[in-house]
Structure 1
Amino acid sequence: MVVDDTLFHRYGTKTHGVFWQHDGSAKGHDGLGRGNCFVVVGLIVTVPFLTRAVCLPILFRLHIPKSGVSKPDAARALVGLLARAFPERTLHAVADAAYRGPAWRTLPGNTTFTTRLATNAVLYALPPAPTGKRGHPAWKGEKLGTCTDLATTATWRSTNVTRYGTTSTVKVAMISCLWWGSLHRRQVTVVLVRETDSTRPYDIALVSTDTTASVETLIARYADRWSVEQTIKDAKILIGAGDTANRLRLAVERSVPFAMLGLTILILWYAAHGTAEADLAAARARAPWNRKKTHISIDDMLITFRRARITVISAGQNTLDQNPARPSTSISTAA
């Protein structure tokens, strides 16, 4: 599961939930935009007709600033819904550094959380064994310092990792410790990643409550988080989630999730009924100059779906014309 949020620009003074707030796509140094912000939880899946991971948005919550519910708290509540709905499955939640915080200290037993570690995060060793002396046992070990401090003393090794559709060799180091500031007493695994040609102590630091996964798995899991960014872009531009213009509370809360769920339904429909090879050949025939096109896009799925709908509606209309006595509801049934 991937957790993220996005801003939908709105400017009406009476539109529900409109505030000036963070906008990742804003131009300039302030990074602010006015509109409705939705926290989104999606499932990361792989499909045979795309070379990249795909995010299917399934849960949403409108974020109201100054309401007392932060974005990490809202995301944690949505993840909890999925954990209760699928108790027999192991769920891995992934989010960027903006979602770190105390909200993830109490996770369901079938859920893990992986995010990017803050550069100024202070880590501690695991608590020592009880000494048998009077007093409460220690909750944490000695102070290990920040990621930069760990990088100078860590044991590095080279390994191959798959990220963003490519496999490359990087140097990694793994440390089991406590992130006291955010996750308190919960044991975590910290993964330091450094490119082979890098001169910095480390390039990226990840932290996860999944203490059994390998380093390669954690790196690939966090890299797949980027699929939600592409999904949000496709939903806004192609599906029309960014074009909704509502003012009342129920309309605001429903329109964006409805549009983004349409993208999930589209991908599921194409996975069941689409023919990627034929659609790719047709796209190349329409644009022979585009020699770099090697896989189906969301736009191609939309074209295929619209043609399928037109074919079904036309067939229903022809049937009605040939049988005038047939009830008019046959068109909607065929559709």
Structure 2
Amino acid sequence: MAVVVTPAWSKQPWSLPFLVVLSTAPAFSVLKGKRHKTIAMWASQMISLMHRWLPDRDIVVLGDGAYNCLALGLQATKRSVTLITPGQLDHAFHDPLLPAEHRPKGGKPRIVGKRQPNLDQVLVDPSTQWQENEVQWYGQGIRVIQWCSGTAWWHRAKLPPLPIRWVLVRDPSGKYEPNVLVCSNPNWQALLIIATYMKRWSLEGTFEEARAHLGIQTQRQWSDLAIERTTPLRLVYLQFGDVDGNPSGCSRADRRRAGRLVSQICCHLS
């Protein structure tokens, strides 16, 4: 898990890792005779821990498709954390439950209202009202997109419903596949959801740097214990640097810029 910081002098957000959890494959869990925990389960624990550390802070968690899980969304909402993840075109979204006086009598009590059309139907429906904007897109610069949005209750069997806002994004040129974003806070505006989720791209850059320069996936240890000890530290190395107090190769302006960077990050985290 990383905190996304955009220094005042930079246009690009930075992802700074601060919490690392190692997850095992299902086959490894079976081999060890342990109950397997999915990525979403680990993320739920990390969200709970982060909320305990910062109970009065507004927290927004961005994840890829592995975190598009109703149970995780419910856990995040319980902790007053906003979760934004990619969604699927065939998600089962419903209208809110009607007031008691308008519900049909008899039968099994309903938990949610009428099912909404699947988003793949919304995508091809001629009556869908699309809006067009220019946005920063996944580190690729400005891109023109078309989007539509709505609110719904996300529901699956044996779990309570979760109020969400979905955003369906398409490329007007037809070059790129459509995307769905799901936000656990239905009060968020669609463009804010899109702009916020685009910041997640900085985390991909952090992982790539860790692979290329820190050997995050190419460590030479074969001992499980050694891997457990060193892998989290490799990501944490991105948080630290050893800078000479008076480096001969740096000008006074360079040192001032470095100082402003540290100050901006500290202000963001405080």
Show the counterpart of 1:177: 152
CA–CA separation in structure 1 for the residues paired with 2:122 and 2:251: 50
- Give the match for residue 263 of structure 1: 238
2:75 pairs with 106, 118, 140, which one?
Answer: 106
Identify which range, 88-97 or 127-136, moves more after superposition. Answer: 127-136
Q: Partner letter of residue 115 of structure 1?
A: T
Match of 2:195 in 1: 220
Confirm or deny: 8 A CA contact 2:70 2:154 kept in the other structure. Answer: no
Report the CA distance shift for 1:252/1:223 in structure 2 as closer, same or farther (over 3 A): same
Decide whether aligned partners of structure 1 residues 225 and 130 sit closer, same or farther in structure 2, where only a CA change above 3 A counts: same
* Partner SS, residue 246 of structure 1: coil
1:144, 1:150 within 8 Å by CA — same for their partners in 2? no
Work out the CA distance in 1 between the residues paired with 2:9 and 2:213: 19
Alignment of 1:5-16 (within 5 A): none
SS in 2 for 1:236: helix
Partner SS for 1:219: helix
- The aligned amino acid for 2:39 is K
Identity of aligned residues (%): 20
Q: What's 2:165 paired with?
A: 189
Q: Pairwise CA RMSD of aligned residues?
A: 3.2
Q: Secondary structure at the match of 1:62?
A: coil
The corresponding residue for 1:126 is 96
Q: In the TM superposition, what whole-angstrom CA distance separates every residue of 1:160-189 from its partner, at most 9, and x where no partner exists? A: 323336334322111101222397501000
- 1:139 aligned residue: 111
Change (3 A) 1:235 1:191: same
Check if 1:70 corresponds to 2:49: no
Secondary structure at the residue paired with 2:199?
helix
Within a 5 Å distance, the mapping from 1:1-335 to structure 2 comes to 41-48=1-8, 50-66=10-26, 67=29, 68-104=36-72, 105-107=74-76, 108-131=78-101, 138-151=110-123, 152=125, 153-163=127-137, 164=139, 166-181=141-156, 184-198=160-174, 203-266=178-241, 278=254
TM-score of the superposed pair, with normalisation by structure 1: 0.62
Structure 1 alignment gaps of length 5 or more: 1-40, 280-295, 297-335
| Partner-residue secondary structure (3-state), 1:106 | helix
Structure 1 residue 99 displacement after superposition: 1.9
C-alpha separation between the residues in 2 aligned to 1:172 and 1:276? 47
Secondary structure of the residue that 1:89 maps to in structure 2? coil
TM-score (norm. length: structure 2): 0.75
**Which structure: larger Rg?**
1
Maintained 8 Å contact 1:125/1:144: yes
Checking the alignment, whether the CA contact within 8 Å between 2:96 and 2:112 is kept in structure 1 is yes
State the SS of the aligned residue for 2:149. Answer: strand
Which 5+ residue runs of structure 2 have no aligned equivalent?
Answer: 30-35, 259-270
Greater shift in the superposed pair: 177-186 or 113-122: 177-186
Letter matched to residue 58 of structure 2: T
**Secondary structure of the residue that 1:196 maps to in structure 2?**
coil
**Superposed CA offset, 1:66-106 (max 9, x none):** 33211111111112111111011111111111222243122
Match for 1:122: what amino acid?
Answer: A
Could you tell me whether the CA contact under 8 Å between 1:160 and 1:216 is conserved in 2?
no
Using the TM superposition, give the Cα deviation of residue 209 of structure 1 relative to its aligned residue in structure 2, in angstroms.
0.5
1:181 counterpart SS class: coil
